[in-house]
A and B are shown apart, each in its own frame.
Chain A
Amino acid sequence: MSKKIVIAGSCRTPIGKAGATRGNLSAFSSAQLLSACFSESLKRSGLLSYALSQVIAGNVAQSSDSPNIARVSSLKAGIANDVPAFTVQRNCGSGLQAVVSACQMIKAEEAEVVLAGGTESMSNIPFILKEARFGCGIKHKQLTDALWEGLTDPMTGEMMGKTAENVAVLYGISREDQDEFAFQSHQKAFKASRGGKFRSQIVSFVSGNKTILQDDGINPALTIQMLSLIPQELFFVKGGTVHAGNSCGISDGAASLIVLTEESALAQKIKPEAEIIGYAFVGCSPSYMGMGPYFAINAALLHAGLNDNDIDYFEINEAFAAQVLACRRQLGIPSEKLNVWGGAIALGHPVGATGAILITKMIALLKDTGKKLGVVSMCIGGGQGGAIIIKNYEGGE
């Protein structure tokens, strides 16, 4: 890359569990979550909103009451009318796509400063009544759960959990290993959360009397024994190994960050947090979509001209323990370099926001440890993988 492209003002909301009474954030819409991040990103970076050339947001279940959610959130956040905005959808990679699109616009010299992010309120995904447009006549019609349908592959008809089971079978990932990984995810997230590692990333929300600062999903009380006792109905495949306890939760959350050239950051006295040095999206079999990160990380390393020994930390989105373990084994990543602050199994996976959330998390991790290079990657429903490589702007070892 000729121009250095940097990130500033990264932040995220707490990640809430989806559900009317379960989650702390279920009462907020995707646009509310994102607009809070947008304002915070501008505040943190010290950038004035009229300096923006574009706003891009990733969102999977795009709601009919806020079409082009990037624009709605941007206006809600008080960003000037004349800053254009668009929304991207690449399933679980949507948040990453927004950041990559920002990079591409800047590289093409069509933008200088872009606000990018992702958002998802899975709590508020509606049930829909198809075929009702021109009247139902005197007939029963079936309600479709848009959330459930969204988690089913449209080509193969497999649930996402089924594709993880496919991976577990193909790579021989045992139930015990998956449960152990899930347990560790909760423990790592609990320690990081109590140790204040997430605080600098989080935009607080006020709901009634409560100020919400905490991620809902972390369960320090979870034990491997509890996971081994999970009832059969919570398995994706009868007699299989992938179940609700070793998969990511259904969640609400958003994140955003500012992507700009190093030149314009320095000119506007904005402190860059990280530099983007490579990225890639790849396609793979929809039935083995969980292996996406394996292909994408290799492609991104190639794009950046690095090899995997150069990388200090890997973050592979924990859609399912099975799929992360298979990718880890194929890539030969040592476990102390992978998802060190826990992952989506504990924290949750608000699909459209995850890409931006994980980049925010990686930036904080690099800053906290003083290390240099981090890779963020995720599998993408429909058979894709996405990865981005970022470098600590402070240098690092």
Chain B
Amino acid sequence: MKTILKVGVIGGGAMGQGIASLVAQSGIPVVIKEINEELAQKALENIFSKIDKAAERGKIMSDKADMAKSLISASSDEIFLTNVDLVIEAVFEDMEVKKKVFHSLDFVVPKRAIFATNTSSLSITEMASATERPKQVVGMHFFNPPITMPLVEIISGKETDEETVETVEQFARDLSKTTIRVKECPGFLVNRLLMPYLNEAVLLLSETTLKPEEIDRQAVEFGWRMGPFMLLDYLGIDIAAHVARILFQGFGERAKPAPLMEILANEKRYGVKTSAGFYVYQPDAGFEDIMKIVEKNFPQRRPLSPEEGFMRMMRGMANEALLCLDEGISTAEDIETGCRLGIGFPFTKLGPLHWAEKEMGRKIFTEEEKW
């Protein structure tokens, strides 16, 4: 296993800032690389003000805040990356951009160093092909916000070697995170399992007379912290639609995105950030009620009980979980952990595999019923 004494974070956006701050608060020196000095300083200021606020609110003590602040630096100059042991890339989610970043870093960063990417869906193997160290390229999927979310998905590409995976796994543990190992596939584990559940929820709206509140209520009664529509509004419907498209490309017909999601994305109803999504968050701003949009686009709907509707969503997730198990994407234990910590699957229900075994029996997952 390699020793990580210093970390480089590429990109000072929201995720880059969060990851850098987390690393520094765990007592490890970190340098942020931005495209120009101005952005670098802005990222640094943002992080500092967040740390100061956390110290003010008593979340961390002032001495720890001071230590974290003096461990972070930011620059546009690649010279500061010449002594890092790990690079975490958190730039714009675009394959070409990421490949370019890795390609140029390959010359600057020491040969021993590991390249990690914080992508949530792009291929690790393809990114690795842009470097001369494909064995040392790995996915480290942090969740937003990195400081508070307890899970990190560790994704290995086709070439990633065991030492690299072990090193970043231990590194994530040093950041007080729980890790799960995932083999590369579209959406990795967490998004791959969450999407069929959310997608089915949106399909229910266009196919049945169920309302978002009814489905959300059912989910909350089951034990979810919030229902699927509330969750979609918080995640951003644009982002969900983007992930859904990636899964559609990867898995074909069975992962076809719900058309309503695209309709909302086109209308720029992204959720909380635009004040309207499935719910309206600004009552007098003239947003249409979601049911009117549904009525307009999908006049033909049939009645269904909320229980049955919710069951369809849960089956989608459980089915995908069983597929992941079959394909060897993750171990059963990691699938359950990923669902609890990554998407908030109710703790008392343990995870989709347990749920499937206990509540439904495996018989519902025969070949004919796989969608």
Q: Do A and B bind each other?
A: yes
The residues of A with any CB-CB pair to B shorter than 8 Å are: 17, 19, 21-22, 190-191, 193-196, 199, 209-214, 218-222
Q: With a CB–CB cut-off of 8 A, which chain A residues contact B170?
A: 196, 199
13 residue pairs from A and B, CB less than 8 Å apart:
A21-B60, A190-B27, A193-B27, A194-B3, A194-B5, A196-B1, A196-B170, A211-B177, A211-B178, A214-B27, A214-B176, A219-B67, A220-B71
Q: How far is the CA of A211 from the CA of B337 in the complex (A)?
A: 14
Q: Are A221 and B5 neighbours in the complex by a CB distance under 8 Å?
A: no
Q: How far is the CA of A191 from the CA of B28 in the complex (A)?
A: 10
* Interface residues as binary, B137-151 with A (CB distance below 8 Å gives 1, 0 otherwise): 000000000001010
B364 at interface by CB-CB < 8 Å:
no
Q: Are A196 and B150 neighbours in the complex by a CB distance under 8 Å?
A: no
B301 at interface by CB-CB < 8 Å:
no
B187 at interface by CB-CB < 8 Å:
no
Q: How far is the CA of A278 from the CA of B150 in the complex (A)?
A: 46
Contact of A220 among B28, B61, B64, B148 (CB under 8 A): B28
Contact of A211 among B71, B148, B173 (CB under 8 A): B173
> Residues of B within 8 Å of A, CB-based: how many?
26
Q: Are A21 and B29 neighbours in the complex by a CB distance under 8 Å?
A: no
Which B299-340 residues have a C-beta within 8 angstroms of A? Answer: none
Contact of B174 among A209, A214, A221 (CB under 8 A): A214
Q: With a CB–CB cut-off of 8 A, which chain B residues contact A209?
A: 148, 150, 341
Q: Are A194 and B28 neighbours in the complex by a CB distance under 8 Å?
A: yes
Q: Are B29 and A220 neighbours in the complex by a CB distance under 8 Å?
A: yes
Q: With a CB–CB cut-off of 8 A, which chain B residues contact A221?
A: 29, 67, 70-71
* Interface residues as binary, B58-97 with A (CB distance below 8 Å gives 1, 0 otherwise): 1111011001001100000000000000000000000000
- Known contacts A190-B27, A191-B3, A209-B150, then 5 further A-B pairs from the complex at CB < 8 Å, ordered by chain A residue: A21-B58, A22-B61, A211-B177, A213-B173, A220-B29
Q: Chain A nearest CB: distance from B340 CB in Å?
A: 11
Q: Are A22 and B3 neighbours in the complex by a CB distance under 8 Å?
A: no
Instruction: Kindly report which residue of chain B lies nearest to residue A221, judged by CB atoms.
Output: B70
Q: With a CB–CB cut-off of 8 A, which chain A residues contact B60?
A: 21
Instruction: Kindly report which residue of chain A lies nearest to residue B72, judged by CB atoms.
Output: A221
Q: Chain A nearest CB: distance from B85 CB in Å?
A: 9
Q: With a CB–CB cut-off of 8 A, which chain B residues contact A17?
A: 61
Q: How far is the CA of A212 from the CA of B27 in the complex (A)?
A: 13
Instruction: Kindly report which residue of chain A lies nearest to residue B70, judged by CB atoms.
Output: A221
Q: How far is the CA of A191 from the CA of B177 in the complex (A)?
A: 21
B26 at interface by CB-CB < 8 Å:
yes
Q: With a CB–CB cut-off of 8 A, which chain A residues contact B70?
A: 221
Which B162-180 residues have a C-beta within 8 angstroms of A? Answer: 170, 173-174, 176-178
Q: Are B63 and A218 neighbours in the complex by a CB distance under 8 Å?
A: no
* Interface residues as binary, B334-360 with A (CB distance below 8 Å gives 1, 0 otherwise): 000000010000000000000000000
